[in-house]
Amino acid sequence: MTLQPQRQILVVFPHPDDEAFSSAGTIRLYRNMGVPVTYACLTLGEMGRNLGNPPFATRESLPEIRRKELKEACEFMGIDDLRMMGLRDKTVEFEDDEKMVKLVTDLIDELNPSLIITFYPGYAVHPDHEATARAVIEAVRRIKPEDRPTVYACAFANNTVAEIGEPTVLIDVSSVKQDKVKALQAHASQTAWMIQESTKRVDEGRPMSDSWLHYEKFYQYEFED
């Protein structure tokens, strides 16, 4: 499908690399069109498990490594407005729910985005993904229907397609595939296992894997009023 014109895009994910895996190509395409993109990355992925053996990092040195990787990935995606929101990995769901909604509402009020990219609540697997998705959806739900930005939501739980069907937004990112690969490679501390797991998903024929470097798939979130 052709890209819908956008005024401003807000990307909200909890971990450095969530954006590269799910939407680096889409972001790059919009940046190439001159659309401003703000990325609110809630944590620095402090709890990433891959430290290597022999190790290249410690639990304490990983956040700084991932901060640098995130900045580099943003360069490849063309994101010049990166907001690191200072939460801690694996604790997002335990934050006060209203504080989380306000965090998103404040960003929306400031930026007036026409499109928000985030996870799909209920089908986002990781507790931080779910908490992020819940906060974004609730913040947007509170906006008058006619004023709401579009929400593209990423879903990859094993039961996703069975329960909510195929993704409704399919974006061909083949033309910026190299930028997506560079963004993924920028997250070097994570890339090794990501590529390994992606290969595994390809081998198992699971969704969101076989063509993940050529297509990015989202669900346009439908709000029930």
Determine if 86 is a binding residue for another protein (CB under 8 A).
yes
Among 4, 7, 33, 61, binds another protein (CB under 8 A): 61
The two tokens of residue 196 are: 């390994």
CB nearer to another protein: pick between 60 and 222: 60
Determine if 197 is a binding residue for another protein (CB under 8 A).
yes
Determine if 55 is a binding residue for another protein (CB under 8 A).
yes
Q: Which x/- pattern, by CB under 8 A, does the window 122-161 give for another protein?
A: ---xxxx----------------------------xx---
CB of 37 closer than 8 Å to CB of 79: yes
Q: CA nearest 120: which of 130, 109, 108, 135?
A: 130
Determine if 59 is a binding residue for another protein (CB under 8 A).
yes
Secondary structure string (H, E, C) spanning 128-186: HHHHHHHHHHHHHHCCCHHHCCEEEEECCCCCHHHHHCCCCEEEECHHHHHHHHHHHHH
Determine if 200 is a binding residue for another protein (CB under 8 A).
yes
DSSP run (H or E) holding 88: none
Interface residues with another protein (CB under 8 A)? 47, 49-55, 58-61, 63, 86, 88, 90, 125-128, 157-158, 193, 197, 200
